[in-house]
Amino acid sequence: MDNSSSKKIPAHISTGIRVFVGILIILGVFIGGVYVGYANRPAAEKITSVVNKEPPAAIGDAVDFNLFWKVWQIMDEKFADADAVSTQERVYGAIKGLLASFGDPYTTFFDPSENKVFESEISGSFSGIGIEIGQKNNVLTVIAPLKGTPADKAGIKAGDQIVAIDGKSTEQVSIDKAVDLIRGQEGTSVALTVVREGMTAPKVFTIVRSTIDLPTVDTETRPDQKAFIIHLYNFSAQSPQLFSQALQSYLASGYPNLLIDLRGNPGGYLDAAVQIGSWFIPQGKTIVKEIGKDPSDVTVHTSKGPVLFPATSKLVILVDGGSASAAEILAGALSEQGIGVLAGEQTFGKGSVQEVINLTEDTSLKVTIAKWYTPNGISISEKGLTPTVKIPYSQSHDGKDMQLETALGLFAK
């Protein structure tokens, strides 16, 4: 006989428990199914809310974002540090990816931190090493080091390819991001790994940042060749006034020969190029053509006059691979309008117009809206300008600039 204490559960209660357990199982399966369905729902539905998700009416074809949300979901589920990237940062990244698909290195989105840097740049308050950079064949390239700056003193040259900044590859790095990395607090240093034609291996230049005072104009005279030289380093808002003073000095010298040295000039304001060109080119003649998205959207910038350069004088315009943008506009106009001889080396080829659009209080978009063409219709962006007289750069044993000397020799011909 079993002496242990035990009680039988009444049949109706036992049946109730079995029914209750069955309900729990069914409910568990249902809840589990709901959870699986919830977890596997589209990524767009996982976000609490998506505002402004409808495209503007201006976008014609239907846009299918299913693939976008699928990738978003995979990154949420599988990327190790997914929580470290905020939703807003992902949106900024998506915008940058959209712009990258257009393949234009000068069209850029500035997130809040980048926008602050950009605003400081255009205000002129910044410290750095003093180089203008662009892209050639998708490689970050030095347009020109500015005269007397740390980059110039360190030996950086126009055409140098920057393959790394502080040891990190510049592949897939935008121009504006590179500028952000290169600029910094005065007294700190940045290391640029450079590839240069003629070098057997990349070279690292470690350069100390300083406050950059942009040079504009220098002049010199060559009595033995009866020549006056104007070195123009950029096209800032002050350039026309300073160039005008230099031009007046030339006229006062009585020399019949003028050489405008635009080597290493990365450009600047279009208006400055038009104003300077107007003192050489007859009023109403074309200086540059600006063509927008629609080929029929053409703006022709013409000379405003008055012509100050004597018709009896000779002019040589000296350029190199560091001559870009507004420098190419002026050089192209002077040579194609028959005012002077274009000499030196192939120019950089930066012939596009950017507009800055404020998107929000702390973000902006810099977008290419047009391209520049010379009076004869040559696209500056394609290959730059080809000099009529090609003169490669070289130095004599005593350090004399032989490219400049050879260009001065053209006045005797």
Residue owning tokens 């740049």? 121
Report how far residue 368's alpha carbon sits from residue 102's, in angstroms, rounded to the nearest whole number.
10
Nearest by Cα to 159 from 172, 144, 170, 174: 144
- Cα 23 from chain centroid (whole Å): 66
Count of positions (residues) in the chain: 413
* DSSP 8-state assignment for residue 395: B
Nearest by Cα to 380 from 340, 339, 342, 341: 342
Report how far residue 339's alpha carbon sits from residue 397's, in angstroms, rounded to the nearest whole number.
34
* DSSP 8-state assignment for residue 411: G
Asked if residue 344 lies in contact with residue 403, where contact means CB atoms within 8 angstroms, the answer is: yes
Report how far residue 185's alpha carbon sits from residue 189's, in angstroms, rounded to the nearest whole number.
9
SS3 20: helix
Report how far residue 87's alpha carbon sits from residue 103's, in angstroms, rounded to the nearest whole number.
25
DSSP-assigned letters across all residues of 58-112: T--S----HHHHHHHHHHHHH-TTGGGS-HHHHHHHHHHHHHHTTT-TT-EEE-H
Query: Which residues are known catalytic residues?
Result: 325, 336, 350
- Give, in order, the Cα–Cα distances in Å from 293 to each of 290, 299, 398: 10, 12, 51
The CA-CA-CA angle for residues 90, 96, 102, to 5°, reads: 145
Asked if residue 365 lies in contact with residue 110, where contact means CB atoms within 8 angstroms, the answer is: yes
SS3 270: helix
Report how far residue 296's alpha carbon sits from residue 286's, in angstroms, rounded to the nearest whole number.
17
